Structure 1
Amino acid sequence: MSTPAYEQFPAGTAAIVIGGGNGIGEATCLLLGARGVAVTVVDRSGEAADAVAEAITAAGGSAYGAAADVTDEAALRAVFDGAVERNGTVHAVINSAGIQGPLGRRSHEVEVEEFERTLAVNLTPGLIIARVAIPHFLERGYGRIVHVASIAGKEGNPNMIGYSSSKAGLIGLVKSQGKEYAQDGITVNALAPAVIRTPFLDSQPQEVVDYMLAKIPMGRTGELTEIAEMLAFIASPAAGFTTGFTFDLSGGRATY
């Protein structure tokens, strides 16, 4: 007897994508919108968020653009409350916002202020997002939070001390939160990509790109469509028995 195909996103699903104005976040927003999810596109640039939202609605989907900085708890809370008001609820939050921090310098050459700024953007929002979203998820008995971490957080990339440290901290945060809410219908997971073909990659020094590519057994960068598919799966009801976990998207670089 055949079994019916699983519906990845039931009708009425609503999601918030932070950092949705470009790159990984944009690709994820477009994919979710194409699959019937009502997407709130959040970006520090309101124009970028609106442009992605307009692309989704032009294709027949449902989307709304909002300007907010991932480090601003009050702004994120206002965005979340607005999404609940528009859609009745929020089922998932995907966080792809981040900065690269200081590059090309060894640790003793990095200023404390720029290191702390990297943590503030890449790590602390893991707590801010939990404070904003989890009370609503607890009321509903359901929720998904997904953070974009990095292979650098697992292995550490030289001359990227801020980025590697912040992403390692994010992975640890996910492990802790995943256990805290495991019995509440809420999952908290991360995705650790290696090199993905994004505008972010174009800003990296070539020697950094070459270093990272040399470690990938597949010998290529990941594609935005590939990471968007993984993020959509982790944020869906289908990933119901996984929490506190960091998924690999590294072309074979990480096998643990």
Structure 2
Amino acid sequence: MNTIDLNGRTAVVTGGAGGIGRAIAERLAASGSRVAIWDLAVEEGERDGFLFQKVDVIDETAVAAAAIRADDVLGGIDILVNNAGITGPTELLEHYAYAAWRRTVEVNLHSVFLCSRAVIAGMRARAYGRIVNIASVAGKEANPSMSAYSAAKAGVIGLTKALGRELAETGILVNCVTPGLIGTELLKQMSPEAVAASRAKIPVNRVGEPKEVAALVAWLCSDECSFSTGAAFDISGGRSSY
């Protein structure tokens, strides 16, 4: 593993209890960062080198309180990785339940807004910050029968570009990554047909690994990333070339 220096930095990773989020949290910690994990699937407390916070990332009040707590314990939030997400149903739009649509968009897109808003003031005061949003290749090319997920991830890309420009002169850089098919538990939320269709589109002919996404995110969180903001970084095994 190549060394990326995050010593002295503090990070929040949403949806960090498992999958890509946990791989990111572990990579940031291995690079020297103190890390808080925001997730509903954790018990509160400090253990295994992490600050675990039970947070509903679509609850405005809960997010604001979690940011204050993380700031107090870790000594200021330098890095935010907005990773929390769900795929939602695999369903034709004409049959898509509105409640399922709303929740899919809220978890994937609204959480990015709420969590980013909660940490920007502190980053701005310190004239330093890194925000990395986990979007998806579906936000670029879309997956059939996954309209809510595709729309939400496209929104994450758009939000990244807008916020990156908004904060360009503050020392806060905002970027996103657009993973293709990655081998996590999230795949179990997709139908076998949807998984097979997605894999067939990957030129390198394999599913990606969480640690590969984590490596890219770690660089985007570092001082070495100093001239990129508002950008979408592809990690899809060649499925998307832009």
The TM-score normalised by the length of structure 2 is 0.95
C-alpha distance 18-178 of structure 1, shift in aligned 2 (>3 A): same
Secondary structure class of the residue paired with 2:175: strand
Q: Counterpart amino acid of 1:122?
A: N
Match for 2:83 among 83, 96, 115?
A: 96
Counterpart position of 2:98:
112
- Write the letter of the residue equivalent to 2:111: P
What's the secondary structure of 2:132's corresponding residue?
Answer: strand
> How do 1:155-234 and structure 2 match up within 5 A?
155-234=141-220
Letter in 2 for 1:16: V
CA distance in structure 1 between the partners assigned to 2:136 and 2:158 by the alignment: 12
| Cα distance in 1, alignment partners of residues 37 and 31 from structure 2 | 15
Q: How many aligned residue pairs are there? A: 241
Name the CA distance, whole Å, in 2 between partners of 1:12 and 1:73.
28
Asked if residue 38 in structure 1 is aligned to residue 34 in structure 2, the reply is yes
| 5+ long unaligned stretches in structure 2 | none
Correspondence for 1:54: 47
* Pairing 1:239–2:225 present: yes
Q: Which amino acid aligns with 1:168?
A: A
Q: How far 1:203 moved relative to its partner?
A: 3.1
Q: Is the contact between residue 16 and residue 25 of structure 2 (CA under 8 Å) also seen in structure 1?
A: yes
The answer to whether the Cα contact below 8 Å between 2:88 and 2:189 also exists between their aligned partners in 1 is: no
Alignment match of 1:79 (pick from 63, 66, 70): 66
Amino acid at match of 1:72: D
Q: 2:60 matched to 1:67?
A: no
> 1:26 maps to what in 2?
22
Whether the 8 Å CA contact 2:6–2:31 is kept in 1: the answer is no
Q: Distance in 1 between matches of 2:187 and 2:210?
A: 12
Q: Percent sequence identity over matched residues?
A: 39
* Mapped contact 1:102–1:161 kept (Cα < 8 A): no
Query: How far has the Cα of 1:73 moved from its partner?
Result: 2.0
Q: Which 4+ runs in 1 deviate beyond 2 A?
A: 6-11
Report deviation, 1:124: 1.0
